[in-house]
Structure 1
Amino acid sequence: MDILHIVGQQRLEGTVSISGSKQSAIPCLAAALLTDQTVVLEGVPEIGDVATMIEILETLGAVVTRQGDMVTIDPSRVESMPLTGAETRKLRGSIYLMSVLAARFKQGVVGLPGGYAIGPRPIDLHIKALERLGVSVRNEQGVHYMRVDRLVGNRIYLDLPSFGATISALLVAVFAEGTTVIENAAYDPEVIDVSTMLTNMGASVKGAGTDEIRIKGVSQLSGCRHTLIPDRMEAGTFLTMGAALGRVTVDNVIPLHLESVIQKLERYGALIEATDDSVTATFQEAKPVDIRVFHYGGFPSDLQPVISAALLQAKGASIVVDKLYPQRFRHVQELRRLNARITHEDASIIIRGGETLLGTEIEAPDPRGGAALVLAGLLASGETTLHHAEVLDQSYERFDQKLKELGALVWRETI
């Protein structure tokens, strides 16, 4: 277990270079197995979830090498091995291997994907999408057995604009005969990123970034070189810290991807300045803000815990609603240990800010909740010790070091 020590009431100031997107890296690594030729991904963050995905690829027979942020995948010896081990249970993104194995090998065995307990994340949308394309899926005690006689394009309507289900459908549709239309598709930037990679490999994908994606199936894909987009969740985390604690610039970002976050931080009272590839957030005042989480275009669920921590210093009441992932409030009980006044009911919390936060011992429930607790510790007086700080490494690259470069007085110990 790692413990992160945080000395509170320190001003943050400086520039953070944002890593490549975790949400793109996981499906792009999976997509690399759709060919037998070498794939090179650049901008791949060195985080725990990516390491787990690479382990799974290696289990299937891929040869994976890393040089800095460049990952090279040789999938020529990949076989459809059963994936029922601990790795798939640790990573939600392992679900994409269902699509990849079905598309390339016409069969596969994949255990129920894992991830953090942030609320119901059923995979029924994924399975329904695969079945519409000709994949037979049988579930036996949490293990999914897939068989394909023939992949045929079809119309797929998603009941929700699910990012994961959209990606799962894409990864199979590229090999389905004829044309596939995904309706009510997610239009997150990472969907565009994965679609761009698939197009570079020879797929025909049109409409990514809208709610209707059309895929014309091909018989094979080739290798490619692809650079991931920046991680908007990491960028939003550090922007929120700047808005609450000083002046922070996030570099290597696409400001358009951060628009919903920027607007809330401006209402919070921060000064926001943007260039073509950077955004700066400067603390001016802290005002209450209501947050309602929604799919892309709305405020992201991943950043709900972080902005909740920032709202602790805004005098008055703020309401935060997250019906997408209603259990993503496990950080709340830890914030209360710091003297935060928060009422939690169902999928919402009411934050009564302006109370003096007092450093104490707290525990990180997951990466985003952990980042929120770090921010709260920086706002608090005295020293805060964050237990299980290693969970931060699942989603954030060099999180402690980047904080130190901004002037935070933090250090980690392993016990």
Structure 2
Amino acid sequence: MDTYKITGGEKIYGEIEVQGSKNSALPIIASSVLINGISVMENVPNIRDTLIMQDILRKLGCKVEYHDNILTVDSTGCDKDEISPELMREMRSSIILMGAILARHGRVILSYPGGCEIGSRPIDLHLEGLKKLGAKIREKHGYIVCEAKRLVGCEINLDFPSVGATENIMLAATLAEGTTIIRNAAREPEIIELQTFLNKSGAIIIGAGTSTIKVIGVKELEDVKYTVKADRIVAGTYLCAAAMTKGEIVLNNIVIENILPIIHKLQETNCIVKENSNNSIYLKAPERLKAVNTIKTMPYPGFPTDMQSQMVTLLSIAEGTSIVVENIFENRYKYISELTKMGAEITIEGKIAIVKGTKKLTGAMVEAKELRGGASLVLAGLVAEGYTSVSGVKYIERGYENFVETLNLLGAKIIKE
């Protein structure tokens, strides 16, 4: 099993380009199935999840080429409607293919998705949305079978603004007959990116970024070329790395508006954060971080749940006590038991984490159990006294491209073994 060996105490200092967004790239890659032609996607991050998605497309009959972060998918030969259960178990985001394959073939067979275990994350909202569009869904020997001779537009009210359900319904509705209205839709930037990609290929979608999305079905989509925007969670992670190590960093190729909730909380900790230009930001850490009053994770435009573990780790060395409330996933504090091995003083009461800042963390052997929690353990290792060994790095590499190389470029001392 691969591990990261981290020597703590080095400042993170320098300037980097932020990789393309994982959570934008995955639904965009899935939507290439809808196009009976060629999709060219630039700035696609070279991470485990995008590579798994490429493998799934190949097994569906697509021709896939990937070089230098440019992904080309020719879906002309896409003639399969079943997703390999082995690949489904590898990555939860594979569920997003359900709407696209159903719209293309009228049937899709898949098992329940895998990925990080950070809560139940049921797919009921996905299934209910597809049912309203006309799909018949049954379970057979542990597989989900969705069938629809035709999909017909309708009005769908989501009980919760689920990102995945919103994306799945958008994909299925793109080729449906008539108009679909999605109410209480997710408002995340990744939804806007999906709309932009689909509209460039000939779809008619209005309202992404608001709570109401309108999809007017079309008969077919055309060849398309698109550049994926920067990953806001990766950007936030590197900002935290610099903040924790008393460093300085410049991030380029980002959409500043998308990370404002993160910026505001970092400013509360006494970090200096300034916008350099429309797509560049600068952070300088204080001599000592200070606690924040409360962080509550919420759907966008609130504070992102995917940044909760990084901020808790940062606050574990801040002066004072902070309160963090996890409102999205009920089991997203798994990493804290590992963090406490390093000397963090954190108490969990249900969905609330009470973080009492300590002056130092100490190196230890810890295990990553999911993507963002794993990244937070690496951040802890950067500031810990002595050596930290992080195992389970396959989870981290699901979302971070060249994580070790980038941190080392910025001054860290990490060896992958």
Same fold (TM over 0.5): yes
Q: Which of residues 293, 305, 309 in structure 2 aligns to 1:305?
A: 309
Distance in 1 (CA, whole Å) between partners of 2:147 and 2:92 is: 22
Structure 1, unaligned runs of 5 or more: none
The Cα of 1:178 is off from its aligned counterpart by 1.1
Q: Which of residues 372, 376, 385 in structure 2 aligns to 1:372?
A: 376
Contact (CA 8 Å) 2:320, 2:356: kept in 1 or not? yes
* TM-score, normalised by the number of residues in structure 2: 0.97
Distance in 2 (CA, whole Å) between partners of 1:214 and 1:367 is: 33
Residue range with higher mean Cα deviation, 343-352 or 392-401: 343-352
The Cα of 1:388 is off from its aligned counterpart by 1.9
Contact (CA 8 Å) 2:110, 2:144: kept in 1 or not? yes
Name the residue aligned to 2:339.
335
Secondary structure at the aligned position of 2:316 is classed as helix
Distance in 2 (CA, whole Å) between partners of 1:19 and 1:4 is: 21
Distance in 1 (CA, whole Å) between partners of 2:93 and 2:364 is: 34
Name the residue aligned to 1:324.
328
Would you say how many aligned residue pairs link Structure 1 and Structure 2?
413
Q: Does 1:397 align with 2:398?
A: no
The Cα of 1:72 is off from its aligned counterpart by 0.3
The Cα of 1:367 is off from its aligned counterpart by 1.8
Structure 2, unaligned runs of 5 or more: none
5 Å-filtered alignment, 1:348-387, equals 348-387=352-391
The Cα of 1:376 is off from its aligned counterpart by 0.8
Write out per-residue CA displacement over residues 91-150 of structure 1, whole angstroms, 9 at most, x where no aligned residue: 111111211111011111111111111112000100111111111111234311111122
Name the residue aligned to 1:169.
169
Distance in 2 (CA, whole Å) between partners of 1:226 and 1:155 is: 29
Deviation above 6 Å: which 4+ runs of structure 1?
Answer: none
Secondary structure at the aligned position of 1:396 is classed as coil
Contact (CA 8 Å) 1:97, 1:110: kept in 2 or not? no
Name the residue aligned to 1:282.
284
Write out per-residue CA displacement over residues 58-109 of structure 1, whole angstroms, 9 at most, x where no aligned residue: 1101110012010000111111332242101111111112111110111111
Name the residue aligned to 1:128.
128
Distance in 2 (CA, whole Å) between partners of 1:162 and 1:336 is: 32
Name the residue aligned to 2:268.
267
The Cα of 1:13 is off from its aligned counterpart by 0.5
Percent identity among equivalent residues?
37
Q: Does 1:218 align with 2:218?
A: yes
Write out per-residue CA displacement over residues 2-49 of structure 1, whole angstroms, 9 at most, x where no aligned residue: 111111111110012111110011111110010210110001000001
Distance in 1 (CA, whole Å) between partners of 2:108 and 2:79 is: 10
| Aligned AA (2:86) | A
Name the residue aligned to 2:234.
234
Contact (CA 8 Å) 1:312, 1:353: kept in 2 or not? yes
Distance in 2 (CA, whole Å) between partners of 1:118 and 1:212 is: 28
Secondary structure at the aligned position of 1:195 is classed as helix
The Cα of 1:378 is off from its aligned counterpart by 1.1
Residue range with higher mean Cα deviation, 355-364 or 193-202: 355-364
* TM-score, normalised by the number of residues in structure 1: 0.98
Distance in 2 (CA, whole Å) between partners of 1:364 and 1:147 is: 38
Contact (CA 8 Å) 1:340, 1:355: kept in 2 or not? no
The Cα of 1:228 is off from its aligned counterpart by 0.8
Distance in 2 (CA, whole Å) between partners of 1:52 and 1:85 is: 12
| Aligned AA (1:287) | K
Distance in 2 (CA, whole Å) between partners of 1:271 and 1:50 is: 34
Write out per-residue CA displacement over residues 206-264 of structure 1, whole angstroms, 9 at most, x where no aligned residue: 11111111111111111100111110010010011122221111111010000000000
**Cα RMSD (Å) of the superposition?**
1.1
